[in-house]
Amino acid sequence: MTFRLQLESRPVASRTMRYVAPVLAAALTLVTGLVLFYALGKSPVEAFKVFFVDPIKDLNGITEWLLKASPLCLIALGLAVGFRANVWNIGAEGQLTMGAAAAGALAVHFDGATGHWLLPAMLVAGLVAGAAWAGIAALLRSRFNANEILVTLMLTYIATFFLGYLVDGPLKDPNGQNFPQSILFGESALFPLLIEGTRLNASTLITLLAIPFVWVLMMRSFVGYQLRVSGLAQDAAVYAGFSRTKAIWMTLLLSGGLAGLAGVGEVAGPIGQLQPSVSPGYGFAAIIVAFVGRLHPVGIVLASLLMSLLYLGGESAQIALQLPNAITGLFQGLLLFFLLGTDVFVNYHLRLVRVSGGQK
């Protein structure tokens, strides 16, 4: 008599498992990471400390933690609204880039301007540019039924090259020794610092405002309700007469706009100028954040903190343990991998079954 493991579907999706899965995934990522460090000949205890404790043991560390969590959270909030409506914006990185480029163009063009209008104008420009970039995907999807996953992803590459062209062309710093970058932004084009001596700036407040806004939109507004119905049961949305085209436009414009704002937060914040790259992959990492956060605003806040810590830990591991940069991407990948794995148990449970044929 032999035994085998079998996945059996649960009659009702497990509520507990829905919330336990991300925690479990984080734990498994940690364990696997430590095993990996051990295999590389580093002490797991030391590695854990370097990765998860050292980066946030002082005020500077904590502000850096929040600084990196902020764009992840902001982008993931927008993406989650779309994901819930089955609109798959994978190109937040591109929308972030376009938002940064638009805001940067303003900052360079009006360099030296005084007064309080420049930064708000940059925010509007970033919001519009990000939304417009995602809007291309919405147009192609609603007009020609072009798959938004592919379109948004491909638009990301175009955006990256466009920014590369800008910083090596029209927006290049004339006195920059031919480096492909813009001038450093002036005071009025930068977010004020929240805590002197750190890099934590007022762009974080935008994220703080976005959290309750997205929560209300998603959970308490009629528009959000229509989007959720559209994602959960498309036939029911058609039955109720909710427009699919509206859902596609709404979610892509929103997620693109928030990604654009995140881009402004980077160039008018810690970076302070336009560079060929203005994001260490926040737009892509935010996809993982959205899912680890269960597409729920509160979950996304926690998940963005976790993801941000992985970024910091990766940097710290490079310095302290001489590990390659790829370590950050590896941890992100592990986290998503384990989340997808543990998510299976929301709808299934594992059972040991005895294998035996029917007796004759």
Partner 1 sequence: MTIALQQHARLRLQGITKRYPGVVANDSVDLTVMPGEIHAILGENGAGKSTLMKMIYGAVRPDAGQIFWDGHPVQIASPMAARQLGIGMVFQHFSLFETLTVVENVALALEGKFDLTSLASRIEDVSDRYGLSIEPHRHVHSLSVGERQRVEIVRCLLQNPKLLIMDEPTSVLTPQAVIRLFITLRQLASEGCSILYISHKLDEIRQLCDRATVLRSGKVSGEANPAEETPATLAQLMIGTSLPEMSRQPRTPGEVKLAIKRLTRQTQDPFGVSLAQVRLDVHAGEIVGIAGVSGNGQAELMAALSGEQTLADKHMVLLDGQPVGHLDAGSRRNLGLGFVPEERLGRGAVPDMSLAENAVLTAHRQALVQGPLLSMGRIRQFALQCISSFGVKCAGPQAPARSLSGGNLQKFIVGREILQSPHVLIVAQPTWGVDVGAATFIRQQLLDLAAKGVAILVVSEELEELFQICDRIAVLTGGTLSEAKPVSETTIEEIGMLMGGVDAQEGEAA
Binding site for partner 1 (CB under 8 A): 11-13, 216, 220-223, 225, 228-229, 232-233, 235-236, 238-243, 355-360
User: Could you tell me the smallest distance in angstroms from the CB atom of residue 293 to partner 1?
Assistant: 18
User: Could you tell me the smallest distance in angstroms from the CB atom of residue 83 to partner 1?
Assistant: 15
Cα torsion at 181, 187, 188, 194 (round to 10°)?
110
On whether the CB atoms of residues 304 and 210 are closer than 8 A, the answer is: no
H or E, element range at 124: helix 118-144
Q: Which is nearer to partner 1, 8 or 58 (CB)?
A: 8
Upper half-sphere CA count for residue 304 (Cβ side, 13 Å):
32
User: Could you tell me the smallest distance in angstroms from the CB atom of residue 219 to partner 1?
Assistant: 9
On whether the CB atoms of residues 218 and 226 are closer than 8 A, the answer is: no
Q: Which is nearer to partner 1, 116 or 220 (CB)?
A: 220
Q: How far apart are CA 117 and CA 218, in angstroms?
A: 31
Angle between helices 244-266 and 222-232 (to 10 degrees): 110
Q: How far apart are CA 358 and CA 360, in angstroms?
A: 6
Q: Which of 56, 102, 29, 75 has its CA nearest to residue 282? A: 75
* Radius of gyration for the alpha carbons in the chain, expressed in angstroms and rounded: 22
Q: Which is nearer to partner 1, 133 or 249 (CB)?
A: 249
H or E, element range at 353: strand 348-355
User: Could you tell me the smallest distance in angstroms from the CB atom of residue 255 to partner 1?
Assistant: 19
Q: Which is nearer to partner 1, 115 or 358 (CB)?
A: 358
Q: How far apart are CA 104 and CA 184, in angstroms?
A: 10
Q: Which is nearer to partner 1, 191 or 242 (CB)?
A: 242
On whether the CB atoms of residues 187 and 181 are closer than 8 A, the answer is: no
Which amino acid, residue 168? D
User: Could you tell me the smallest distance in angstroms from the CB atom of residue 220 to partner 1?
Assistant: 5
User: Could you tell me the smallest distance in angstroms from the CB atom of residue 254 to partner 1?
Assistant: 14
Q: Which of 127, 353, 140, 152 has its CA nearest to residue 259? A: 127
User: Could you tell me the smallest distance in angstroms from the CB atom of residue 137 to partner 1?
Assistant: 24
Q: Which of 107, 154, 150, 101 has its CA nearest to residue 129? A: 101
On whether the CB atoms of residues 164 and 142 are closer than 8 A, the answer is: no
User: Could you tell me the smallest distance in angstroms from the CB atom of residue 301 to partner 1?
Assistant: 22
User: Could you tell me the smallest distance in angstroms from the CB atom of residue 300 to partner 1?
Assistant: 20
Q: Which is nearer to partner 1, 229 or 330 (CB)?
A: 229
Q: Which is nearer to partner 1, 197 or 357 (CB)?
A: 357
Q: Which is nearer to partner 1, 41 or 358 (CB)?
A: 358
Q: Which is nearer to partner 1, 198 or 347 (CB)?
A: 347
Which amino acid, residue 40? L
Q: Which is nearer to partner 1, 32 or 234 (CB)?
A: 234
User: Could you tell me the smallest distance in angstroms from the CB atom of residue 120 to partner 1?
Assistant: 24
Q: Collect all residues with Cβ–Cβ distance below 8 Å to 291 and sequence separation of at least 6.
A: 83, 336, 339
